[in-house]
Structure 1
Amino acid sequence: MNTLQESNVILNVAREDKTAAIRRVGQKLVDNGYVAAPYIEGMLAREESMTTYIGNGVAIPHSMPEYVQHIQHSGIVIAQYPEGVDFGGGNVAYLVIGIAGKGEEHMEVLSQIAIVCQEEENVDKLVHASTAQQVMEVISQGAEL
Structure 2
Amino acid sequence: MTGNTQSPAGRLHALWTIEGLDELRAGHIIKALHDTIAGIRENAIRLAEPFLTTNPELANELYALQNNDNARVRFQLACTPGYINTTETLTAITLNNYGGQKTTIARHDIQSLKALGMSAMPAGLEKQITPQQMSNLLAFIQEAK
TM-score interval for Structure 1 and Structure 2 normalised by the shorter chain: under 0.3
How does the TM-score come out when normalised to structure 1? 0.28
How does the TM-score come out when normalised to structure 2? 0.28
**Counting strand residues as a fraction of each chain, which structure ranks higher?**
1
| Greater relative contact order (CA < 8 Å, ≥ 6 in sequence) | 1
